[in-house]
Amino acid sequence: MSYKKVLTIQDISCIGQCSLTVAMPILSACGMETCILPSAVLSTHTGGFKGYHVRDLTDDIPAIVNHWRSEGIKFDAIYTGYLGSTKQIDYVKDILNTMGNESCIKIVDPAMADNGSLYYGFDNEYVNAMKVLCKEADILLPNVTEASFLTGTEYRETYDEAYVDELFNKLAELGAKTVVFTGISFKEDKTGVLIYENGEKSYYEHDKISKGCHGTGDIYASAFTGALLNGKSIFDAAKIAADFTVLAIKNTQGDPSHWYGAKFETAIPSLIRDLGK
């Protein structure tokens, strides 16, 4: 497997084990050259911390990208996570279309909602901008809430496979090519990932842990990207990423002082073994 250059675009939460502080070590452990474009710097993530400091880097993005262009830099994959505004989404759309090499894989995690609600500060204008970005993706990594907002479908806390099929069909109408749905649960004690690829559907089921952790979507997306770029199939990459994320959550259980994230670092040896490295 050749040495891949990956660009990941999302914020830096200095404390909180999410976004770039998750993506960089996981992708690096997968053997990737990990390049970053930070959309903002936060003292902590926003999920439970009070009085955090934020520095928006939106206006720095064009200068950074223009410098890369002047150096002739291209990427083998571009993976996007949390983006803070519609203006950032516009910039990222241009990056997806211009900064990849001929075989660049474009992966979009539309990190904007969960549990039936949009994240704080997001609105319908943001959702509409994200719809446009999703059209540019080779692989989309939504949860059910994000898919419901992207497709204008009523969110359901309980659902069947037909409902998820409906979400996929509407995402396909938007232009999504391959979709990996995360957190898909058809049983009370199980959850998993449902993959739609080239007209085929596959499902990987794993244990459902009642108490989740902040940042697990970023852990999953980063491990998925790393596994895929190691030559794994989309299904195998989805499975490896799911197993890694579950182990990270399990390794965090029982430690009330570690409420703000998942101890993904402790699970990295397992990820490396699953990649056959």
pTM for the full model? 0.96
What is the C-alpha separation between 75 and 161, in angstroms, rounded? Answer: 36
Instruction: For the chain, 277 residues long, give each residue's pLDDT as a single digit of tens.
Output: 579 999 999 999 999 999 999 999 999 999 999 999 999 999 999 988 999 999 999 999 999 999 999 999 999 999 999 999 999 999 999 999 999 999 999 999 999 999 999 998 899 999 999 999 999 999 999 999 999 999 999 999 999 999 999 999 999 999 999 999 999 999 888 999 999 998 899 999 998 887 778 899 999 999 999 999 999 999 999 999 999 999 999 999 999 999 999 999 999 999 999 999 7
What is the C-alpha separation between 83 and 40, in angstroms, rounded? Answer: 9
For residue 111, the domain's CATH number is 3.40.1190.20
Query: Quick count: other Cβ atoms within 10 Å of Cβ 224?
Result: 29
The confidence score (pLDDT) of residue 180 equals 98
The confidence score (pLDDT) of residue 215 equals 92
Give the residue numbers spanning the domain of 146: 5-269
Measured on CA atoms in the order 227, 228, 230, 233, is the torsion positive or negative?
A: positive
Count of domains forming the chain: 1
277 occurs within a structural domain? no
275 occurs within a structural domain? no
276 occurs within a structural domain? no
